[in-house]
Amino acid sequence: MEWKLIGFQTLLAIFAVIIIILSVTSVYPALSGDVDIDIPEEDEVYWNIDNGTVEVQGTMWINNSGYYDLNDIDIDVSLEGLEKELFNDSISVEKVEAGEDRSVILSLQRDTSDFTEGDLETIVFEETTFSIIADMKAVYPFSLLEFNLDYDSSIDWAGIVEDIQYYEEDISIEGTEQGSRVSIPLDVDTTDQLNTTSTVDLTLKNETDGDNYSETQISVPIGGDYSTDVTFELGNNETEHLIFNDEQLHVESVISIEDLGYTVTNTTIFNWEAPVRYIDFLYEQARVESVPTGSELFLPYNVSTTDRLSGLAQADITMYNSDQSVAYNETREMIPLGVETSSELEFSLNESETEKFITNSHQVNFIADINLQEKNIDFTYESSYDWGAPLNNLSIGDFSYDLITETISANISFINDSPRELLVNLTVLLFNSQDDLVGSKEISYTDDQDYRVASGEQFSQRITVDVSEEPSYAEVTFTDATTGMELEKVVRR
């Protein structure tokens, strides 16, 4: 019987050796990393939105460099965020043979209709954190070893649209045939975790009356940074409004991510700085001066333009009468932009126009067709002014000749409608019918205070001139010492 015991004991020893070999060959590879399960890292998780389905994909690797097959691998994966479980999936792999590296595709899907409007807004615009939770089990044959892996990691989500930035300081305007084109540089920073396209409908409004100026549409590829110029086409009226007026511009962006079935409206407000701050015609300083070629109307002006402009503006200015039926004259000015400019417009006047401007207060209209040359923007500036004639309603009459004293008298009257005091020098020359000088008189404001005529004051004098014989007609010349204005008027009895 003893040999049986010895045999049994030998079997026990063999059994013990087998246990030791199994222990070493199963535990050692597991501890030394030869059996390994690799969960996808954050940058190996791919998001996709397609046809109303949000999909999260990643590849998991099961590396079995041990001595035994890995069996019954169960993987439960869930993705949590927005205070709920968003996705879950279970994957079973029957066997990964010894020495095999097996990739397992994780694919978590969810219909976008399962997301609330708030969820989608968070997904599109906000930073959030998703938790990826995985629970994996695998066994060696006969459950020699059981592997358990609990994985809990966070995935930072920066939002699909991480940043929308309009560059207010770089807004530009340039002329077109219809009016102008406003360009606003736009940077859109979108997540590189997705690859899709969004459509953005943009509307440009002004704040003053809420009118829609213009609409346009752009496509923004999602998957990185995208830069473009958003351009709005403006008509003439809008262009002229924006040329002269600071404005708060509202750009309403309706962002549609069709695959996500999500639309959101975002409004950005810009402070529009008018390129032309002001054009001031200094009417109170306007004057008519005699020049060798006749006379000219000088109209001082100030122009201020934003320092964002440069180059020259060409202004063709036409002066009209009150009902714009008569164009008196026109002049061309080249105005430097980006600086404050003060200069004078010069309008040449013929004889009748000169007399009209000196003796007849009336409304004049200025229409300026202005071209900002670098921007090629055309616009029109109109202004009207009630011109105050320095010798308004000039009247020379009521002549009386005194044969005994050989003098002739006449009344001269006018109202100084101009904004400044007149310093009148009056010259009267009297001629007979043969055009011979028969008498003359000069009266200066330096000799007679009545010839200093304040603005708005009426001048009314009776002039008496010694003559050698009875005159037939008189040449009366008014000169203003301040402006150099001169009016010669021939008056017959």
Residues near another protein (CB under 8 A) are 1-2, 4-5, 8-9, 11-12, 15-16, 18-19, 22-23, 26-27, 30-31, 39, 140-153
Inter-residue contact 199 to 258 (CB < 8 Å): yes
Give the C-alpha separation, 382 to 380, whole Å: 6
Long-range contacts at 119-124 (CB < 8 A, ≥ 24 apart): 119/82, 120/260, 120/262, 121/264, 122/82, 122/159, 123/82, 123/157, 123/159, 123/160, 123/260, 124/159, 124/160, 124/161, 124/255, 124/257, 124/260, 124/262, 124/264
Write the CB contacts of 18 (distance below 8 Å, at least 6 apart in sequence).
Answer: none
Instruction: Give least dist CB 129 to another protein, A.
Output: 13
Q: What is the three-class DSSP state of 240? A: helix
Q: Which tokens go with 265?
A: 């409206």
Nearer to another protein, 14 or 326 (CB): 14
Q: Measured from the CB atom, is 5 or 403 closer to another protein?
A: 5
| Token pair belonging to 492 | 């017959």
State the nearest-atom distance from the C-beta of 29 to another protein, in Å. Answer: 11
User: Which residues, 6 or more positions from 417, have their beta carbon under 8 angstroms from its beta carbon?
Assistant: 361, 388, 389, 390, 392, 455, 456
Q: What are phi and psi of 223, to 5 degrees?
A: 145, 20
Specify whether the CB–CB gap between 119 and 81 falls below 8 A. no
Residue 144, φ and ψ in degrees, nearest 5: -50, -50
Of 29 and 175, the one with the shorter C-beta distance to another protein is: 29
- Rounded CA-CA distance 85/324 in Å is 76
- Residue 147 Cβ vs another protein, minimum distance, rounded to whole Å: 6
Distance (Å, rounded) from C-alpha 425 to C-alpha 412? Answer: 13
Q: By C-beta, is 31 or 404 nearer to another protein?
A: 31
- In whole angstroms, the minimum distance from the beta carbon of 101 to another protein comes to 18
What's the min distance (Å) between Cβ of 35 and another protein? Answer: 9
Closer to another protein at the Cβ: 23 or 165? 23
Give 36 or 233: the residue with its C-beta nearer to another protein: 36
What is the C-alpha separation between 325 and 313, in angstroms, rounded? 27
Shortest Cβ distance from residue 41 to another protein (Å)?
10
Nearer to another protein among residue 93 and residue 423 (C-beta) = 93
Residue (32 or 88) nearer to another protein, CB? 32
Q: How far is the CB of 5 from another protein (least distance, A)?
A: 6
Contacts of residue 33, Cβ cutoff 8 Å, sequence gap at least 6 = none
Supply the minimum distance, in Å, between the C-beta of residue 25 and another protein. 11
Tell the smallest beta-carbon distance from residue 86 to another protein (Å): 19
Q: Are 108 and 131 a contacting pair, CB within 8 Å?
A: no
Which of residues 43 and 117 has its CB atom nearest to another protein in the complex? Answer: 43
Lookup: tokens for 477: 């010349």
Q: How far apart are CA 308 and CA 375, in angstroms?
A: 11
HSE of 283 in the Cβ direction (CA atoms, 13 Å)?
A: 15
Choice between 11 and 327, CB closer to another protein: 11
CB of 150 to another protein, least distance (A): 5
